[in-house]
Chains A and B, each alone.
Chain A
Amino acid sequence: QKEVEQNSGPLSVPEGAIASLNCTYSDRGSQSFFWYRQYSGKSPELIMSIYSNGDKEDGRFTAQLNKASQYVSLLIRDSQPSDSATYLCAVTLRQAGTALIFGKGTTLSVSS
């Protein structure tokens, strides 16, 4: 059973702080990794994708991937109240006929 694990939270941080979200996955053959943000009552929207070991930065967001440890993380710098949402980690093998598997998500609350 391929699994993606996340701490459910809630993770609470003050405005301006760094929020750190973590995800582990069970399938060592996984090749593509994604972070989605989901506001209450809305569909998930893509924030970051990462495919190689190391860090990838996009504005206030940094995704980190360590395939040896089967670990992917998302850092949000200068957290804003508008960042309050559920963050979903997703993993796929990137081959035909393979599914995109999601973790259960971590709820982030940023207080002003």
Chain B
Amino acid sequence: DVKVTQSSRYLVKRTGEKVFLECVQDMDHENMFWYRQDPGLGLRLIYFSYDVKMKEKGDIPEGYSVSREKKERFSLILESASTNQTSMYLCASSWTGGENTEAFFGQGTRLTVV
């Protein structure tokens, strides 16, 4: 089975802190995604990566950065956490091409910024 693992299930951070959310997948997927999910707003794409060291902005990249130094690991960084970044963060991964391109999700990290 595909496994996508996020480093924390729940996280509480203070305003202004630098926050790292880690995601690891074990299926050699090319693509990795970071989404945030808020009530009524659905899943919004923050950043995605289609190869090592490659990254593309999603719909809401402001206040975030990402790092992908190894194929299996994709990190989301909140440079200076703010209360409006309190949310559920979901990591996902997928293959490119063919007909097996569905994304598999991690368990999610519920981040609270106080």
Residue of A nearest to B41 (CB): A104
Q: Which residue of B lies closest to A45 (CB)?
A: B105
Contacts of A99 in B (CB 8 A): 33, 45, 48, 56, 58
Q: Does residue A32 face the partner (Cβ distance < 8 Å to B)?
A: yes
Count of B interface residues, CB-CB < 8 Å: 30
Q: CB distance A100 to B40 under 8 Å?
A: no
Classify the secondary structure of A's interface with B: loop
A87-112 vs B, CB cutoff 8 Å, 1 = contact: the mask equals 01010101111111111110000000
Check if A14 is an interface residue, CB within 8 A of chain B: no
Q: Is B103 an interface residue (CB 8 A)?
A: yes
Complex-state Cα separation, A34 to B41, whole angstroms: 19
B96 touches A43 (CB 8 A): no
Question: Are B50's CB and A97's CB within 8 A?
Answer: yes
**Nearest-Cβ distance from residue B36 to partner chain A, whole angstroms:** 12
B50 near A96 (CB under 8 angstroms)? yes
Would you call B99 an interface residue if the criterion is a C-beta within 8 Å of the partner chain's C-beta atoms? yes
Number of interface residues of A (CB under 8 A): 25
Task: Tell me, yes or no, whether A49 is within 8 Å of chain B by CB.
Answer: yes
Instruction: Say yes or no: B43 contacts A88, CB within 8 Å.
Output: yes
Q: How far is the CA of A44 from the CA of B108 in the complex (A)?
A: 10
- Listed by A's residue number, 5 A-B pairs whose Cβ atoms lie within 8 Å are A32-B102, A43-B107, A46-B104, A88-B42, A102-B43
Give B contacts to A, CB under 8 Å. Answer: 30-31, 33, 35, 40-43, 45, 48, 50-51, 54, 56, 58, 90, 92, 94, 96-99, 101-108
Other contacts beyond A99-B48, A105-B42: 13, CB < 8 A: A32-B101, A42-B108, A43-B106, A43-B107, A44-B105, A90-B103, A94-B96, A94-B97, A94-B98, A96-B30, A100-B31, A102-B45, A104-B42
